[in-house]
Chain A
């Protein structure tokens, strides 16, 4: 199984640009999450989803949007990139077999 796949692994954005971070899981997990990790810090929840068509805000949702049209996919959208969004982004999913994290996307906004 591939688990949780995130793309891209690295990206540099200019201020004001937009992009979508892709996340796909093949474990048929209902729950999916987006976290961000700033340097030297823990992970903070941006958005989460408890199933297809259902999403909700986490601790730090400002500047981001998500959608969950299928069980497998949970993309994260940045509309107007700001330097404060420079971070490492982790997608994760959970089911009865526990939590699985993607390998992360390192985003730099310049």
Chain B
């Protein structure tokens, strides 16, 4: 069975510093995709970044990068130069079996950025 684990319920970071949010996954499927979503207090799900299991390079999107370590089954999100607006819940998710495209979510990490 596929599983996503986020072990950090909450994280604090000072503005302009970098922060890493941890995510480990478990799957027996050789083809999978990993996602990070941001959920601000307003509640919407905002897509941040995607990494495919066959991608050779780590994904980057602006201040977001994904530290993908396939052998360790980890897909950590790195946010550089944190901003106050980054304060939110962050969810790691994995795309399920190819014929269903389901997303399986972790329990999330609440990030708080302080001045």
User: By the criterion CB–CB under 8 Å, are B45 and A90 in contact?
Assistant: yes
Please judge, given known A-B contacts A41-B107, A41-B108, whether A50 and B43 are in contact too, CB under 8 Å.
no
User: By the criterion CB–CB under 8 Å, are B106 and A42 in contact?
Assistant: yes
Please judge, given known A-B contacts A99-B47, A103-B44, whether A58 and B105 are in contact too, CB under 8 Å.
no
Write out the residue numbers on chain B whose beta carbons fall within 8 Å of the beta carbon of A74: none
Asked if B101 lies at the interface with its beta carbon under 8 angstroms from chain A, I say yes
Residue of B nearest to A48 (CB): B102
Write out the residue numbers on chain A whose beta carbons fall within 8 Å of the beta carbon of B84: none
Looking at the assembled complex, report how far the CB atom of B45 sits from the nearest CB atom of chain A, in whole angstroms. 4
Asked if B28 lies at the interface with its beta carbon under 8 angstroms from chain A, I say no
Write out the residue numbers on chain A whose beta carbons fall within 8 Å of the beta carbon of B104: 45
Looking at the assembled complex, report how far the CB atom of B40 sits from the nearest CB atom of chain A, in whole angstroms. 12
Looking at the assembled complex, report how far the CB atom of A92 sits from the nearest CB atom of chain B, in whole angstroms. 7
**Per-position 1/0 for A43-81, Cβ under 8 A of B:** 111001010000010100000000000000000000000
Within 8 A of A (CB), among B82-115: 91, 93, 99-108
CA–CA, A110 and B4, complex, Å: 32
A-B pairs, 9 with minimum CB distance: A42-B105, A101-B45, A43-B105, A31-B101, A42-B107, A94-B101, A42-B108, A104-B43, A42-B106
